[in-house]
Amino acid sequence: MFKIFKAFVKKEVYHILRDRRTLLILFGMPIAQILIFGYAVTNEFKDAKIDVLDYAKDQSSLQLVQHIQSSGNFLLNRILHSEKEIEAGFKAGTSKLVLVIPESFGADLYGNRPVSLQLIADGSDPNNANTLVQYALAMILDFQKERLKLAENPFQVRVETRMLYNPQLISAYNFVPGTIALILLIISAMLTSLTIAREKEQGTMEILLVSPLPPLLIILGKVAPYAILSFINAVLVLVLGYFVFGVPIIGSLTLLLIICMLYVITALSLGTLISTISKTQQDAMMRSLMGLMIPSMILSGFIFPLASMPVVLQYLGHIIPATYFIAILKGIMLRGVGFNFILFEVSVLLGMTLFFLFMTYKKFKIRLE
Amino acid sequence: MPENIIQVEGLTKCFGDFTAVDAITFTVKKGEIFGFLGANGAGKTTAMKMLIGLSKPTKGMGSVAGFDIAKNPEKIKKRIGYMSQKFSLYNDLTVKENIRFYGGIYGLDKKRIRSKTQSILKELNLNDVAGTLVAALPLGWKQRLSFAVSMVHDPEIVFLDEPTGGVDPHVRRQFWETIYEAAALGRTIFVTTHYMDEAEYCDRVSIMVSGKIEALDTPENLKHQFKAKTMDEVFLKLAR
């Protein structure tokens, strides 16, 4: 029996090696994805252009502007002279934020009177505007503190924040686990469903079913090479994340790899399930793209936090395997938790996998009736 | 009297309300070329799928190579070869790799696979293209290779499902010669087709019309019985 299995896997390897499209998805995609997510998807910014409308034009206002620039986040673009010029910068796209300093700025600051400043941001890009305003606010508060070291109010509330597990809020810490979840899903689920659908489309599946090969062996033979390749890819992404973006693995590496294995099996069973209901490769492709890829990207908490979504979408998010897998990955990699902390997520994944395998087995049998 | 290698009695297949195969009964003798004829949609392929274990009969009995089709499909599978109307080789594998793969899944050992590969390449004159991807071969070659590969494990019966669909007459002729060669070696050939001229090549033919076998005899007797000159006429008379 093992010899037959070997002959089958060998054939599968030929298919993979001779198909450029498969090879590209297998090895090009993980690298491209991690680099794109790594360098393009980021909330950090540098040298954001800022316009200043300075009515005060005194020493303290100059010091404020200088202080804001000192962080490296902002760069002074233009000094404006009237309110009418504010929008011009936004419209031309040369500036994203305008700081308005009133005439009485210096006097109020030292005269112990309420000080007011105005920040105007380009709201057509809300995420960006929010971040810019927050950075600017932080710099202004900082400036105020520095100026007024003297008369410290003893009743002031001082808030010290600390971001545990990711003190610098590096976005790679979020997208490396997410990318692993996506890549394993694409390779395991999409490619296996494609390769099984291809046999059906070409009519070779019929020949295989007429041969003495047990159906289980056909499926195992088809998925085994992809299981191994997916696993290699998971390791590749972990290594890239570690060396290129410095994403740590604080918890147990063994546990991490075992969980990756489990998730690969989940994805493979999903892929075979999809292939039992699709007749052609195109069909399989559409189903895995629409049914797996897009929900896993949007509803798994990878890019948008689940907690802030409408309840219906939250429920949907909770039936997606990637949601649990990403939670486990973050737990092990960033917080260094042990098995007992991820027990719930692991058992959900396990349950899902068993369910998919059972469904696949049933569907496959029905097809033979 | 040669033994019956296929024996079917009252074989029926229903899909919901629709009866695709309606209580057909026939036998195929060992070593004969049996033509299973009928128009598209007459139920040929469905009937054949029940014989080769791809589909379970709703009612009726059948045995192939001495085994019951409902109880022992796994034993039957080892003893039959099958070539479908769709092209059944892997385009992205070479000629040699295709032969090796099919030899492998039928559990032949290495030595046997090697000698089989040699003999197939030699018989079909494919030695020069042994390392070429199947995709690059002309259709007629692919078809003959496909037929040879379906017999790589020396089956007692070979089932051919419209093997000559979409091929020009000259190549069809050539293909039938290879069928004769296989039959001369004592193999039973069960072939479905809707080309009536091919019926003339068979030892015996059955003609299916909407799920039932309406006629079964040698081409000569059928022509005589229906007072027709060609099998085509026989078929037209039956279909009306």
pLDDT digits (tens, 9 = 90+) for A124-139: 888 888 888 988 888 8
Chains A, B: CB pairs < 8 Å = 74
What was the pLDDT predicted at A150?
A: 53
Residue A207 and residue B93: Cβ atoms within 8 Å?
no
Greatest mean pLDDT among A154-158, A235-239, B156-160 lies in B156-160
Q: Is the pLDDT of residue A213 over 50?
A: yes
pLDDT bracket for residue B1 (50, 70, 90):
very low
Residue A4 and residue B104: Cβ atoms within 8 Å?
yes
Q: Per-residue pLDDT tens for A39-82?
A: 776 666 778 889 999 998 888 888 889 988 888 888 888 888 88
What was the pLDDT predicted at A176?
A: 84
The whole domain housing B29 covers 4-239
Q: What is the mean pLDDT of residues B86-108?
A: 91
B237 φ, ψ to 5°? Answer: -65, -40
pLDDT bracket for residue A324 (50, 70, 90):
very high
| Low-confidence winner among A193-207, B19-33, B145-159 (lowest mean pLDDT) | A193-207
CATH number at residue B121: 3.40.50.300
Q: Is A206 on the interface with B (CB under 8 A)?
A: yes
Q: Is A369 on the interface with B (CB under 8 A)?
A: yes
Are A89 and A77 in contact, with CB atoms under 8 Å apart? yes
Domains for chain A: give ranges and CATH numbers.
13-41+171-368 (no CATH), 48-147 (3.40.1710.10)
Residue B77 and residue A210: Cβ atoms within 8 Å?
yes
Q: Per-residue pLDDT tens for A85-128?
A: 888 888 888 888 999 999 888 888 777 788 888 999 988 888 88
Q: In what order do the strands lie in the sheet with A48-54?
A: A74-80, A48-54, A97-101, A118-121
Q: Is the pLDDT of residue B2 over 60?
A: no
| Low-confidence winner among A320-329, B43-52, B192-201, B203-212 (lowest mean pLDDT) | B192-201
DSSP three-state, residue A177 = helix
pLDDT bracket for residue A369 (50, 70, 90):
very low
Q: Residues of A with CB below 8 A from B53's CB?
A: 210
What was the pLDDT predicted at A152?
A: 58
CB-closest option in B52, B74, B92 to A14: B92
**Chain A residues 3-22 within an 8 A CB cutoff of chain B:** 3-4, 6-8, 10-11, 14-15, 18-19
Tell me which residue of A170, A152, A131, A167 sits closest to A38, measured CA to CA. A170
Instruction: Count how many domains chain B has.
Output: 1
Q: Per-residue pLDDT tens for B203-235?
A: 999 999 989 999 999 999 999 999 988 888 888
Residue A207 and residue B82: Cβ atoms within 8 Å?
yes
Q: Is B16 on the interface with A (CB under 8 A)?
A: no
The pTM of this model reads: 0.79
Q: What is the mean pLDDT of residues B73-88?
A: 87
In chain A, % of residues over pLDDT 70 = 95
pLDDT bracket for residue A155 (50, 70, 90):
low
CB-closest option in B93, B100, B105 to A4: B105
Task: Give me the interface pTM, i.e. the ipTM.
Answer: 0.89
In chain A, % of residues over pLDDT 90 = 26
Please tell me the distance in Å from B132's CA to the nearest CA on chain A. 13
Across chain A, mean pLDDT equals 86
Q: Is B56 on the interface with A (CB under 8 A)?
A: yes
Interface residue of A18, A200, A206, A279 to substitute, partner B, most B CBs within 10 Å: A206
What was the pLDDT predicted at A160?
A: 79
In chain B, % of residues over pLDDT 90 = 64
DSSP three-state, residue B8 = strand
Q: Cα–Cα–Cα angle for A317, A363, B88, nearest 5°?
A: 120
Q: Residues of A with CB below 8 A from B102's CB?
A: 211
Across chain B, mean pLDDT equals 90
Are B39 and B87 in contact, with CB atoms under 8 Å apart? no
Q: Is A23 on the interface with B (CB under 8 A)?
A: no
Q: What is the mean pLDDT of residues A351-369?
A: 78
Q: Which residues of A256-281 are buried (b: 16+ CB within 10 A; e: fewer)?
A: beebbebbbbbbbbbbbbbbbebeeb
Q: Per-residue pLDDT tens for B124-164?
A: 999 999 999 999 998 888 888 999 999 999 999 999 998 88
What was the pLDDT predicted at A44?
A: 66
- Beta strands B4-15 and B33-38 are unpaired
Residue A212 and residue B54: Cβ atoms within 8 Å?
no
Q: Is the pLDDT of residue A367 over 60?
A: no
Tell me which residue of A74, A65, A66 sits closest to A97, measured CA to CA. A74
What was the pLDDT predicted at A252?
A: 93
pLDDT bracket for residue A153 (50, 70, 90):
low
What was the pLDDT predicted at A143?
A: 84
Residue A207 and residue B84: Cβ atoms within 8 Å?
yes
